[in-house]
């Protein structure tokens, strides 16, 4: 029987909430109802695992304890605190949104959160429900898996998922409910080898009853990964380097990074290196090696060269840099005495 239409729906809700309140992980953002802190956690956890996300969360709040602190900070300080989290556009949007909040006040509703830069339906529903008890159901990857298995739905659409999440929502405790469903998906109803015998909802679960819970739901179709090649020059040393600011609308927009030159589809890397060498008036080039970095839908293969040039150098520790740049600098650090 479908969980959403079952006469045992109240039992399902009470069983899941009881499980959550006794078994949920003790995470720092669950110890507060501060909407600012909850907002930061939700943005960070969209792109990081809980273990690493916790460290980033604590680091970010130490740097910017209040929304006023975040709004007043220079953008480069915000990006530095975000370093290692990826998707730097989210940090820039967070900064812009904080500035709006300081002017207009902290939103208390789903619609108010949704109006902020960079805040989508998931984040708006999460913060509104957890911080303000607004009955809004969230849908993320964990919720998709739990609902897909409860109903044995192989290919749930976005509309189907939102409708089922809305129908299941415990309106008297929406924040705990949303966190309970996500916690279940993260710790019990996992993609592979779900711990069905430990699941508080197995009696309601159509996928469990089928004997093939891992079949549901089918994985989402992944977009093809675009392969990008580029060359980079390391000018300076492992502590002080020549860095260029990348365009705001680029993949790593707003960050300082090594000077790069894209390699054309039918081009040899030497041609791109020649353009970079000429533009920077570089000399004494020496190849260091290659690094590979995978973004969500892109793979960057970067050929790294050291060089000399009469250009201003920046202290690396003082500015935020992307992981791909850190990987390139690691090639230099692995060769002591090079400079």
42 is catalytic: yes
Cis peptide upstream of residue 217 (ω within 30 degrees of 0): yes
Who's near 6: CB < 8 A, 6+ residues apart? 12, 204
- The residue from 7, 15, 42, 308 that is catalytic is 42
- Determine which helix (DSSP H) or strand (DSSP E) holds 245, and give its type and residue range: strand 244-245
The Cα-based distances of 110 to 12, 132, 174, 284, 285 in angstroms read 26, 9, 13, 58, 55
Rounded to a whole number of angstroms, the distance between the first and last alpha carbons of the chain is 70
Cβ atoms of 263 and 272 within 8 Å: the answer is yes
Q: Please state whether beta strands 298-308 and 226-235 pair in parallel, antiparallel, or not at all (unpaired).
A: parallel
Who's near 160: CB < 8 A, 6+ residues apart? 153
**Residue 281: strand pairing partners:** none
Within 10 angstroms of residue 300's Cβ, the number of other Cβ atoms is 20
Q: Catalytic site residues?
A: 42
């Amino acid at each position: 029987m479908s969980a959403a239409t079952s006469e045992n729906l109240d039992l399902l809700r009470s069983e899941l909430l009881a499980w959550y309140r006794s078994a949920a992980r003790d995470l720092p953002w669950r110890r507060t109802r501060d909407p600012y802190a909850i907002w930061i956690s939700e943005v960070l956890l969209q792109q990081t695992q809980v273990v690493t996300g916790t460290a980033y969360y604590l680091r970010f709040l130490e740097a910017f304890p209040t929304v006023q602190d975040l709004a007043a900070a220079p953008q480069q300080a915000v990006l530095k605190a975000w370093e290692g989290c990826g998707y730097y556009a989210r940090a820039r949007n967070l900064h812009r949104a904080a500035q709006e909040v300081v002017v207009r006040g902290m939103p208390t509703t789903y619609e108010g959160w949704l109006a902020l830069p960079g805040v989508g339906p998931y984040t708006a529903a999460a913060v509104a429900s957890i911080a303000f008890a607004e009955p809004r159901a969230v849908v993320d990857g964990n919720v998709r898996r739990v609902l897909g298995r409860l109903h044995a739905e192989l290919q749930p659409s976005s509309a189907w998922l939102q409708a089922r999440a809305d129908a299941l929502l415990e309106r008297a405790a929406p924040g705990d409910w949303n966190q309970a469903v996500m916690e279940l998906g993260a710790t019990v109803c996992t993609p592979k080898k779900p711990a069905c015998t430990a699941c508080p909802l197995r009696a309601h679960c159509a996928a469990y009853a089928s004997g093939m819970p891992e079949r549901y739901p089918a994985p989402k179709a992944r977009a093809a990964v675009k392969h990008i090649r580029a060359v980079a020059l390391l000018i300076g040393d492992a502590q002080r380097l020549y860095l260029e600011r990348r365009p705001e609308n680029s993949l790593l927009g707003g960050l300082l990074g090594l000077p790069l030159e894209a390699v054309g589809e039918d081009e040899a890397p030497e041609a791109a290196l020649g353009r970079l060498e000429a533009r920077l008036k570089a000399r004494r080039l020496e190849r260091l090696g290659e690094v590979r970095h995978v973004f969500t839908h892109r793979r960057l293969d970067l050929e790294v060269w050291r060089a000399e040039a009469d250009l201003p150098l920046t202290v690396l520790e003082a500015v935020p840099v992307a992981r791909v740049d850190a990987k390139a600098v690691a090639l230099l650090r692995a060769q002591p005495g090079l400079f």
